[in-house]
Structure 1
Amino acid sequence: MRKAFSIIAAAVLLSSVSVGAFAKDYKIAVTDIQGMDALISEWGPFKEALEKATGHSFEFFPVTSQTATAEA
């Protein structure tokens, strides 16, 4: 009985966690690089590897300060 309860509890927890994982697009902001070209040059391979590993889409969001990342 205790084992069955543990399995059910684990299934409920896993299903509730995975619901938030279905976001369609994510934004990546890097504060120490100016300009989209430099951002793509420096972080493009990381973005591509992340998309391949997760199956999600990521978009660069260039910012000039850490405060501006809140807009992302």
Structure 2
Amino acid sequence: MRKLFSAMLAVALTAGVSATAVAKDYKIAVTDIQGMDALISEWGPFKEALEKATGHSFEFFPVTSPTATAEALRSKK
């Protein structure tokens, strides 16, 4: 989990440094958690720090598997 956190933060910070002044919205699927309450509890502080560091908006949503993530991307959800 720490490796994932570090990797996501590095990517987000890099995107924030190289991005223009226009804020963007991003959706991030999380596969290792069930339900929105658990997602908010576990990932809420990270989401807030990520938004503050990058100036972008992030929406985290739980999915049941990597396949569900791929399907959500394909259907642009």
TM range (shorter): 0.5 to 0.7
Q: Which has the higher helix share?
A: 1
Give TM-score scaled by structure 1 length: 0.65
Aligned to 2:45: 45
In terms of Rg, which structure is larger?
A: 1
Q: Distance in 1 between matches of 2:41 and 2:19?
A: 32
Q: Which has the higher strand share?
A: 2
Aligned length: 55
Please say if 1:24 is aligned against 2:20: no
Greater shift in the superposed pair: 21-30 or 35-44: 21-30
Please say if 1:33 is aligned against 2:33: yes
Residues 18 and 55 of structure 1: is their aligned pair in 2 closer, same or farther, counting only changes over 3 Å?
A: closer
Aligned to 2:15: none
Tell me how large the CA RMSD over aligned residues is: 2.0
Identity of aligned residues (%): 87
Question: What amino acid maps onto 2:61 in structure 1?
Answer: F
Question: Which blocks of at least 5 consecutive residues in structure 1 are unaligned?
Answer: 1-16
Cα shift at 1:23: 6.5
Q: Distance in 1 between matches of 2:36 and 2:26?
A: 16
Aligned to 2:57: 57
Q: Distance in 1 between matches of 2:22 and 2:69?
A: 22
Question: What amino acid maps onto 1:30 in structure 2?
Answer: V
Off by >6 Å, runs of 4+ in structure 1: none
Question: Which blocks of at least 5 consecutive residues in structure 2 are unaligned?
Answer: 1-17
Give TM-score scaled by structure 2 length: 0.62
